[in-house]
Amino acid sequence: MKIINVKTNDSYNVYIERGILSETGKYVRKVSRAVRAAIISDSNVAPIYAERVEKSLRENGFETSLFVFEAGEERKRLSTVEQMYAHFFDNDMTRSDIVVALGGGVVGDMAGYAAASYLRGIDFVQIPTSLLAQVDSSVGGKTGVDLSVGKNLVGAFKQPKTVLIDPDTLDTLPQKFFNDGMGEVIKYGCIRSRTLFERLEKENAMDFIDDIIYECISIKSLVVEHDALDTGERAILNFGHTFGHALEKLYNYSGITHGEAVGLGAYLITKITEKKGITEAGSADRIYKLLKKYDMTTSTEFPIDDIVKATRGDKKSSGKGISFIFLRSIGDCFIYRIENSEVKGFFA
């Protein structure tokens, strides 16, 4: 077992171990005296894993209920969260009870937001079952939903009580969604770990996936500890995301996955900064080759002007400018602020 302690105001442990899903109740009981546990999952994950998690919770003294919504980014809306609230109410959930998020990033984001806001906040735990959620979104306390005008524009900071990562769940993950998660993995190599990036180039990710999960979460936990509320250093975790979120918006959240958009955003922005002499020559090509290796999108029909225009309203905007994350070289990144009036010209 690998354990990472995330040292925020409410410190918590991330447990990485194969088979830990069947011991969910034991680990949730360590951090909660709740009577009731509401499991939130989606139509892809619940049929495979909900019964096992529910059985373990009951064996450890929890009264359980299960809320399942139709899988897909398009369900990541306030209307779905409102249905969760109704489920909590119908099952007599109190402020001393707990929510269990079982699924990928969409499940974790929405269940976390529902927990953060219902009764002004109840505890929750993360059980991520997708690669993207295991290496990134399950840790750090960012929760939220999409609006029609942009991604994750409504949300709250809510740290989980614990995170349980079972790499065995990746065995049932469709290849498309494994590749989707690789967008975030590549991001971590780009911003903080040249060693990880080089291993991804030389080896097959699935052959050392436990190490990948541990490395990515270790990087993220250190960044979150320094900047839990995303006011400074944590912005580096958004490398590839400014263009990535813009691409998701342009594709109406259905023509490209989040991880693909992040990977493509990382490649496009690095291609530009490399031409400007900001980034070490050859970096964009290395990112491109990794995207190709893991069968991810490497081009888009949308011109750069449309992508830049779609960054309007991005959460990294503040005052009269927006903070972009650029690379000096693979493994070394920095924050670069551009005034709104200069953004279009910079990327022209």
Average pLDDT over residues 38-46: 98
Provide the pLDDT for residue 165. 98
CA atoms of 165 and 134, how far apart (whole Å): 6
Question: What was the pLDDT predicted at 10?
Answer: 85
* pLDDT at position 313: 65
Facing residues of 321 across strands? 318, 339
Over 90: is that where the pLDDT of 73 sits?
A: no
Q: Return residue ranges of the chain for CATH 1.20.1090.10.
A: 175-347
| Mean pLDDT value of segment 143-154 | 89
The pLDDT, as a whole number, for residue 317 is 62
**Exposed / middle / buried, residue 304 (Cβ in 10 Å: 0-12, 13-18, 19+):** middle
Angle at CA of residue 238, ends 177 and 240, nearest 5°: 65
Look at residue 280 and tell me whether its pLDDT is greater than 60.
yes
Q: In this predicted structure, what is the pLDDT of residue 315?
A: 56
pLDDT per residue as tens digits for the range 45-68? 999 999 999 999 999 999 999 999
What is residue 344's predicted lDDT score, i.e. its pLDDT? 86
pLDDT of 13 above 90: yes
For the chain, give the mean pLDDT.
Answer: 94
**pLDDT reported for residue 164:** 98
| Arithmetic mean of pLDDT, 86-94 | 98
Q: What is the CATH number of domain 175-347?
A: 1.20.1090.10
Q: Are 307 and 250 in contact (CB under 8 A)?
A: yes
pLDDT bucket at 319, cuts 50 / 70 / 90 = low
| % pLDDT > 90, the chain | 85
What is the fold, at CATH topology level, of the domain defined by 2-172?
Rossmann fold (3.40.50)
Q: How far is it, in rounded angstroms, from Cα 117 to Cα 156?
A: 8
Residue 11 confidence (pLDDT) above 60: yes
Can you tell me the distance from the alpha carbon of 64 to that of 84, in angstroms, rounded to the nearest whole number?
14
> What pTM value is reported for the model?
0.93
Tokens representing 132 are: 């993207």
Q: What is the pLDDT of residue 227?
A: 83
Q: What does the pLDDT average to over 304-317?
A: 80
* Domain(s) of CATH 3.40.50.1970: residues in the chain: 2-172
Q: Where would I find the H helices in the chain? A: 24-31, 46-59, 78-90, 105-117, 131-132, 175-192, 194-202, 209-226, 241-250, 258-275, 283-293, 304-309, 340-347
- Residue 265 pLDDT greater than 60, yes or no: yes
258, pLDDT greater than 80: yes
Average pLDDT for 280-291: 98
Residue 252 has pLDDT above 90, yes or no: no
Q: What is the pLDDT of residues 185-230, one digit of tens each?
A: 999 999 999 999 999 999 999 999 999 999 999 999 999 998 888 8
Q: Alpha-carbon distance 69 to 61, whole Å?
A: 26
Of 234, 312, 313, 300, nearest in space to 269 by CA: 300
Q: Using CA atoms, how far apart are residues 280 and 213, in angstroms rounded to an integer?
A: 27
CA–CA separation, 66 vs 7, rounded Å? 30
